[in-house]
Structure 1
Amino acid sequence: MKRTTLTLAASLLATTALAEGQELTVASWGGSYQDAQSKALFEPYEAATGNTIKQETYGGMSDVRLQVSSGQVTLDVVASGSGSAARAGAEGLLEPLDYDVIDVSNFPDAFYSEYCVGGDVFSVVPAFNTDKYGEDGPKGWADFWDTEKFPGSRAYRGTVSGALEPAMMALGVAPEDVYAELSSEEGIERALDKIRELKPNIAVFWSSGAQHAQLMKDGEVDMTTGWNGRFDNAAADGAKVSYFYDQGLLDYDCFAIPKGAPNKDLAMQFIAEISKAEYQDDLPKYITYGPTNSDAYDTGEISEEVAATLPSSPANMDMQLPISLEWYAEWEQIAAEMYQEMLTE
């Protein structure tokens, strides 16, 4: 690791003037993802500041909603999906972030919003069993749907998030036109019909990253949609799984502050600190999610070989479709109802 605690501490004193000895409660999703956050972000923050991170796992924004509605908020910072944070912010569950405190000058615009700032970038990709297909498996969503060229069982997302876009691209819609095509009930139905076409080959509709990674590790399905970092960790554990970024869905996880957080100001400064390049350049050592701070690619910590595997590296970003939070804000509720009807047919 290039940085030292002394260097980080000096930077901290110069920029955020945090008091030592305070405690923040930070909630994430557990598993290999939270382990990576802890090693790359939380523990170095503690070493640099003298503050303590009390880590918890939680069930997502439903837990935040319960705390905020009851007036008993105990969480200071939560990890969230970008879409969940956008909806929670619109619902009044999150504090607006202070971008005078949090420096996002080196973040692409797509990786932060009013209520949430990106902590890592991941991709929804079609993963495949290398024992069955070799290393040259499906590239893009048309291949995922092609059961003649790639016979075998599939798994697919059990909720609408990231489920309709692959179907649209499998239909031949250009990535830049996907959300325009999905911006009507007729367009959503067209995507659902494409999923219905594949449904006889879908053995499992998965509900979590741990589940879709385990499906591939156990060889229970031959292909699945899912998150790139989970597949890489499964492969490191011996799973015969690989993927390509062609037509992946580019998304990000982010950090948010629940409305009424007991340590709001310290939480803001915490997010500012761990958003720096010298923290984010360590995350790929523990999980293959990319940094949101573009400067992390210039520190020397991320080699060219590693950068080639990360979803936010320029070459990989160019071949992917960024998730549209605007589309989800307008259409997700309707699309989710239609998706659940399709699942129960």
Structure 2
Amino acid sequence: MKQKTLATIVASLLATTAMADGKQVTIASWGGSYQEAQSKALFEPAAIATGIEVKQESYGGMSDVRLQVETGQVTLDIVASGSGSAARAGAEGLLEELDYGVIDVTDFYPTLYSKYCVGGDVFSTVFSWNPEIYGADGLSSWADFWDVEKFPGRRAYRGGVAGALEPALMADGVAPEDVYSVLGSEEGIERALDKIRELRPFIDVFWTSGAQHAQLMKDGEVDMTTGWNGRFDNAAKDGAKVTYTFNQALLDYDCFGVPKGAPNRDTAMAFLAEISKPEYQDDLPKYITYGPTNRAAYATGVIDAATAAALPSSPENAALQLPISLEWYAEWETIAAEMYQEMLTE
């Protein structure tokens, strides 16, 4: 009790000091149920604990950061990013190197942080379907998603390159462990694009945000789509007819970066240190079924066994998936994105 009281007093003093200093950060994420979960589990509690004023925005990704950095008009202090996009943005000089003397990643999974981005959650890119049409067991592979004769219906697919090429190659018979070797050339990328071209006449929507692909299933506009597992879980809670499998899913993580020239760089580092603590990360699965990147979050007692079993980073689920290759995205994403957009405009 004394320790708890002392901790409370210290937190209050720190908060008061921070507020007196007028410290603030502007955080940009992707909106919808995802940003709402981040806000409830991470941003709002950390703001109270530290006294740092948090302003939230929704944004369109690293293209927005690039514009701000290139024009010298940086207004964002922290941005949520996919791991691959962050790797490429860091290589381009769009992100600050993170201060791991301030941000403690001692208990992080070693693959879930980098020089430019610290992991915020673990998620999976999956294929989902309407169980009332295809049954609860429904589809079991990307080959099934491509099989329009066995599984006719309206489809949606990713409108950006991240997480779009790997499923196409697996649907084309490439073993998961060989996917990135095949994608390591323009010929391999073209092979994946050809497979998407094969499916394109049956794709009703190329989605561009997590909120969009979840809404497509909620509204019944499509019968199956690719997307992010947590978005589908939240949609199901809201009454959407949607289910999915982790088999052949892409195991990935979202992270937080600091744009180059952020106006509140040091405060951003301190805030990232706060939300990386296990006592915040263990709350995230309450709001969206994404796993924590801090292993200590599993030891706080907040995440029960049943919840842990449904998270992408649980050992059983992770074993079914293809981990995203940050090295591939850092080297090839720019070229692949151009080729992908050309394919979409053909």
Aligned residue number for residue 225 of structure 1: 226
Deviations 1:124-148 (A, max 9, x none): 1000001101211112212212223
State whether structure 2 residue 301 is matched by structure 1 residue 300: yes
Tell me: CA distance 1:175–1:9, structure 2 relative to 1, closer, same or farther (3 Å).
Answer: farther
Counterpart-to-counterpart distance in 1, 2:267 and 2:327 = 30
Partner of 1:338: 339
Q: Provide the identity percentage.
A: 74
Give the drift of 1:245: 0.4
Counterpart AA for 1:256: G
Q: Aligned pair in 2 of structure 1 residues 28, 245: CA closer, same or farther (>3 Å)? A: same
TM (norm. structure 1) is 0.92
Name the structure 1 match of 2:187. Answer: 186
In structure 2, the partner of 1:93 is 94
1:72 aligned partner:
73
Quick one: distance in 2 between partners of 1:88 and 1:189?
24
How much does 1:114 deviate? 0.7
What per-residue deviation string (whole Å, max 9, x for no partner) do you get for residues 273-308 of structure 1? 111111100001111111111221221111111112
Q: Which residue does 2:251 correspond to in 1?
A: 250
Counterparts of 2:143 and 2:292, CA distance in 1: 29
Q: Summarize the alignment of residues 33-48 of structure 1 with structure 2, pairs less than 5 Å apart.
A: 33-48=34-49
CA apart distance, 1:10: 4.8
Instruction: Describe the SS at the equivalent of 1:226.
Output: strand
3-state secondary structure, aligned to 1:172 = coil
Post-superposition shift, 1:94? 1.3
Deviates more, 1:287-296 or 1:140-149: 140-149
Question: Where do 1:62-211 residues align within 5 Å?
Answer: 62-211=63-212
Task: Say whether residues 1:24 and 2:45 are aligned partners.
Answer: no
Instruction: State the distance in 2 between where 1:143 and 1:207 align.
Output: 23
TM-score, normalised to structure 2, is 0.92
Distance 1:6 1:27, change over 3 A: farther
- Which consecutive residues of structure 2, in runs of 5 or more, have no partner in the other structure? none
Q: 1:41 to 1:168 in 2, by over 3 A?
A: same
**Equivalent residue for 2:214?**
213
Q: Which amino acid aligns with 1:96?
A: E
Contact 2:15 2:49 in 1 (8 A): no
Q: Which amino acid in the other structure matches residue 252 of structure 1?
A: Y
Report the secondary structure of 1:232's partner residue: helix
How far 1:342 moved relative to its partner? 2.6
Residue number in structure 1 paired with 2:57: 56
Q: 1:120 and 1:323 mapped to 2: Cα distance?
A: 14
- Residue 108 of structure 1: CA displacement? 1.9
**Structure 1 residue 120: Cα displacement:** 0.9
SS state at 1:20 partner: helix
C-alpha deviation, 1:45, in angstroms:
0.8
Relative to structure 1, the CA distance from residue 63 to residue 189 in structure 2 (aligned partners, 3 Å threshold; closer, same or farther) is: closer
Q: Distance in 1 between matches of 2:26 and 2:5?
A: 22
Q: Are 1:127 and 1:243, in contact at CA under 8 Å, matched by a contact in 2?
A: yes
Shift of the alpha carbon at 1:50?
2.3
Note if contact 1:18-1:269 (Cα within 8 Å) is conserved in structure 2: no
CA distance, structure 1, for counterparts of residue 26 and residue 212 of structure 2: 27
How much has 1:9 moved relative to structure 2? 6.8
Alpha-carbon distance between aligned partners in 1 of 2:252 and 2:9, rounded to the nearest angstrom: 31
Give me the whole-angstrom Cα distance separating, in 1, the residues matched to 2:181 and 2:5: 48
Does the 8 Å contact 2:83/2:255 carry over to 1? yes
Counterpart in the other structure of 1:327: 328
C-alpha separation between the residues in 2 aligned to 1:292 and 1:11? Answer: 24
Name the CA distance, whole Å, in 1 between partners of 2:164 and 2:310: 23
Q: Distance in 2 between matches of 1:199 and 1:185?
A: 20
Q: Give the superposition deviation at 1:81.
A: 1.6
Structure 2 vs 1, CA of residues 333 and 64 (structure 1 numbering), >3 Å: closer, same or farther? closer
Q: 1:65 to 1:199 in 2, by over 3 A?
A: closer
CA 1:245 to 1:5, structure 2 compared with 1: closer, same or farther past 3 Å?
Answer: farther
